[in-house]
């Protein structure tokens, strides 16, 4: 895959409970783990809590996009990083390149906290080289107080009513932009047939004429201000808008969604693999993972963590309460191999079209 954008945000709170990390015993040796993650995607004091629990020190290096960290990892053969957060298709690519270390399940006992469905995700059945950190859907986020008819279809975005023209946005990154067209057409979100992808291109070029913008980072703010009335959105980012304006709603169109998954991988070039596994185990602690759900507003694939979320939080953000069985029905974005070149070319043509 290919493109993820910085679909993260600043933290809502500044602290994680240090007592959450007691699942690990403190080792005698300290190490300097290097973690690469998106900004605001883990507790700001997570590394301090990790050191308290394990004696292992570490630092977090922020990357803005999957593409950014992938470029660094591929250029350096994975050297310089121990644990990296990437979306699942990118984890697949890293594994195919031989850059990922097999997960040592004996050293990650908190894998037992994962929903059974999270151990069978198509990109990595059995979590052999990756561990899911967050997961969710992509749908339509809209102002229920300003949109006359609630959207039900991707066509409501791609061929909007006159009242919505110039008031809609779509995600800019390749895979999610194309997925809207693929889903509307009834195609796979991993479709590679040239004739079908030509149809998708034509549809998205037509839709472009009605858009306010392609926007991966500020679309929920546009909804809050009323500059936009309907946007293509990741569920968690729609929650950011809902937090500020309850009239904002999220819906998965009748044609469906993709299942996106952000993962943690250990680099084969890591010189601190045991400590890297301890870090992943730390993040899978139920209370630590619950922190992520409550502060970045994304669902996490951790059963006790999700079951610990307060009822009022789930009531405020209904998409957080989506049953796992329903979530995993959607098709996961996968590495499309050589077809990615075609995807990138199509997206370039869409964005260049007048």
Determine the 3-state secondary structure of 288 from DSSP: helix
CB-CB contact of 101 with 129 (8 Å): yes
DSSP-assigned letter for residue 299: B
Does residue 205 lie within any of the structural domains? Answer: yes
CB-CB contact of 228 with 167 (8 Å): yes
CATH of the domain at 299: 3.40.190.10
Does residue 155 lie within any of the structural domains? Answer: yes
Q: Which domain holds residue 140?
A: 136-258+335-352
Does residue 10 lie within any of the structural domains? Answer: no
Residue whose token pair is 């990118």 = 90
pTM confidence score: 0.89
Give the DSSP H/E element, type plus range, for residue 253.
none
| 3-state SS record for 35-72 | EEECCCCCCCCHHHHHHHHHCCEEEEEECCCHHHHHHH
The per-residue pLDDT for 128 is 98
CB-CB contact of 344 with 2 (8 Å): yes
Q: Are residues 109 and 230 in the same domain?
A: no
DSSP-assigned letter for residue 168: E
State the burial class of residue 290 (Cβ atoms within 10 Å of its Cβ: 0-12, 13-18, 19+). Answer: buried
Does residue 126 lie within any of the structural domains? Answer: yes
Number of domains in the chain: 2
CB-CB contact of 70 with 58 (8 Å): no
Does residue 78 lie within any of the structural domains? Answer: yes
Averaged over successive runs of 10 residues, the pLDDT of the chain (354 residues) comes to: 36 32 36 88 89 94 90 95 96 97 98 98 98 98 97 98 97 93 98 97 98 93 97 95 96 98 98 97 96 92 98 96 97 93 95 92
Report the largest interatomic distance among the alpha carbons of the chain, rounded to a whole angstrom. Answer: 66
Does residue 4 lie within any of the structural domains? Answer: no
- CA–CA distance, 154 with 140 (Å, rounded to integer): 8
Q: Are residues 127 and 145 in the same domain?
A: no
The per-residue pLDDT for 67 is 84
Q: Are residues 142 and 250 in the same domain?
A: yes
Residue whose token pair is 């299942």 = 259
The per-residue pLDDT for 40 is 87
């Amino acid at each position: 895959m290919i493109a993820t954008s910085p679909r993260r945000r600043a933290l809502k709170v500044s602290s994680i409970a240090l007592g959450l990390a007691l699942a690990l015993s403190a080792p005698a040796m300290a190490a300097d783990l290097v973690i690469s993650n998106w900004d605001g995607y883990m507790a700001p004091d997570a590394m301090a809590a990790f050191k308290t629990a394990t004696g292992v020190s570490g630092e977090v290096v922020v990357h803005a996009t999957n593409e950014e960290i992938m470029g660094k990892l591929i250029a350096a053969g994975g050297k310089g990083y121990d644990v990296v957060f990437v979306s699942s298709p990118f984890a697949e690519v890293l594994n195919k390149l031989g850059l990922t270390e097999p997960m040592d399940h004996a050293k990650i006992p908190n894998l037992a906290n994962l929903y059974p469905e999270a151990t069978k995700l198509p990109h990595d059945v059995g979590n052999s080289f990756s561990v899911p950190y967050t997961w969710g859907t992509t749908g339509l986020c809209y102002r229920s107080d300003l949109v006359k008819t609630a959207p039900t279809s991707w066509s409501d975005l791609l061929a909007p009513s006159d009242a919505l023209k110039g008031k809609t946005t779509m995600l800019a990154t390749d895979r999610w932009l194309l997925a809207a067209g693929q889903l509307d057409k009834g195609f796979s979100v991993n479709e590679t047939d040239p004739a079908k992808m030509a149809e998708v291109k034509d549809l998205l070029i037509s839709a472009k004429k009605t858009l306010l913008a392609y926007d991966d980072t500020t679309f929920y703010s546009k909804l809050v201000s009323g500059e936009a009335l309907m946007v293509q959105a990741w569920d968690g980012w729609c929650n950011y808008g809902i937090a500020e304006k309850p009239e904002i709603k999220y819906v998965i169109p009748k044609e469906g969604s993709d299942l996106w998954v952000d993962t943690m991988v250990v680099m084969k070039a890591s010189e601190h693999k045991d400590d890297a596994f301890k870090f992943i185990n730390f993040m899978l602690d139920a209370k630590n993972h619950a922190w992520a759900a409550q502060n970045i507003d994304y669902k996490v694939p951790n059963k006790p963590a999700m079951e610990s979320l307060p009822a009022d939080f789930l009531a405020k953000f209904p998409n957080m309460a989506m049953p796992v069985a329903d979530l995993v029905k959607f098709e996961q974005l996968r590495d499309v191999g050589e077809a990615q070149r075609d995807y990138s070319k199509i997206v370039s043509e869409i964005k260049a079209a007048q």
